Every structure is written in structure tokens, then in C-alpha cells.
Amino acid sequence: MTMWLPMIGMTALPHVGGFYGGFITRKEVKNWYPTLNKPSWRPPNAAFPVVWTCLYTGMGYGSYLIWKELGGFTEDAVVPLGLYGLQLALNWAWTPIFFGAHKLKWALVEIVFLTGTVGATMVSWYSISHTATLLLAPYLSWLCLATALNYCIWRDNPEKKEE
């Protein structure tokens, strides 16, 4: 049983931020988000929780594969798991910035850093586990779409100047 705990824990960890983000998003998707100008190609709102559940599970399991391959939290794991932890923190921070604070420009800056950090994580993982790296590929693809969506929403919804 104890050999399954790291796999389950590391696979579940990204969902913690997802649940937290869901609480912030739930109200804003009904009240604030519909008031924004959005591109016609945006995914439907119902797609987001399904997509994020799959992405969080894949990235979490990928982190477990890296952890296992490197023998746990060893010196060799500092960079690949450190980058993973950084991207996870950036991932969790985007929702409060965009949906909570309604800061479209800051959310855009943040998601650009997030996307770059995921790319760096993939580079650091590649020599350790091709499977783990490939588990991040759909995530990176989705972030590219999300970054473009964030950009269009920011561009099409100028912030009102305070007088």
C-alpha cells in the first residue's frame, strides 16, 4: 500500500489548486466573465473543468515518474522537480489574478511566464523520462491556447481609467 501513496499523492497534488481555482471561478463565470468581449473561437465554459482535470492528472503523474526515476527528492531532482513546483505555483496563481482580481494584463504576463516555465520543465524532464515529458505536451498546447485567449480578452476589454 505504501508504494502507491507517492503515486496517488503526486498525481492528486495539482488538483488542490484546481479545486481552489474552481471556487473563485464559479461565481465569476456567471457574473463577470459574461460581460467580457471574447473571441468566437474560445472553448465553451463546460470544457474547462474537463480539460483541467485531465491536464492536472497528467502533470501530476508525470511528476511522480520523474520523482521515481530520480530516487525521490534527491539532489538530481532539484531542477526538474523545482521547475515543476514553480510552474504549479504559477498555474495556481493565474486564476486568482484573472478571475479574482480581474487583472487581465497581469494575468497575461503571468501566463506567459507559466508557459515558458512549463517548456523549461519539459526540457529538464526529457532526458529523465520521455513519457513524463509527453504527459506535459497537452498541457503546453492548452497553455498556448489559453495565452492567446487571455491576450484577446485583454486586448478587447481595455481597463477603464480611474478619474
Residue 37 forms part of a structural domain: no
The tally of domains found in the chain comes to 1
The x, y and z cell numbers of residue 116, run together, are: 515558458
Residue 161 lies in a domain: no
Give domain status of residue 22, yes or no: yes
Closest CA to 85 of 52, 103, 59: 59
Report which of 74, 162, 83 is spatially closest to residue 124, judged by C-alpha positions: 83
Dihedral angle computed from the Cα positions of residues 16, 22, 24 and 26, in that order, rounded to the nearest 10 degrees: -170
Residue 120 lies in a domain: yes
Torsion sign over Cα 122, 152, 15, 55: negative
User: Which residues fall within 8 angstroms of residue 136, CB to CB, at 6 or more apart?
Assistant: 58, 59, 62, 118, 121, 122, 125
In a domain, 53, yes or no: yes
Determine, yes or no, domain membership for 122: yes
CATH number at residue 101: 1.20.1260.100
The answer to whether position 61 is within a domain reads yes
Taking residues 57-61, what's their average pLDDT? 98
Three-class DSSP category at 38: coil
The pLDDT, as a whole number, for residue 1 is: 59
Dump pLDDT digits (tens) for 121-149.
999 999 999 999 999 999 999 999 999 99
- pTM for the predicted model, two decimal places: 0.93
Q: Is residue 127 situated within a structural domain?
A: yes
pLDDT at 162 over 60: no
Q: Which domain holds residue 128?
A: 1-32+44-154
Per-residue pLDDT of 68-99, as tens digits, reads 999 999 999 999 999 999 999 999 999 999 99
**DSSP per position, 11-47:** HHHHHHHHHHHHHHHHHHHHTTGGGS---TTPPPTTH
Indicate if the pLDDT at residue 115 is higher than 70.
Answer: yes
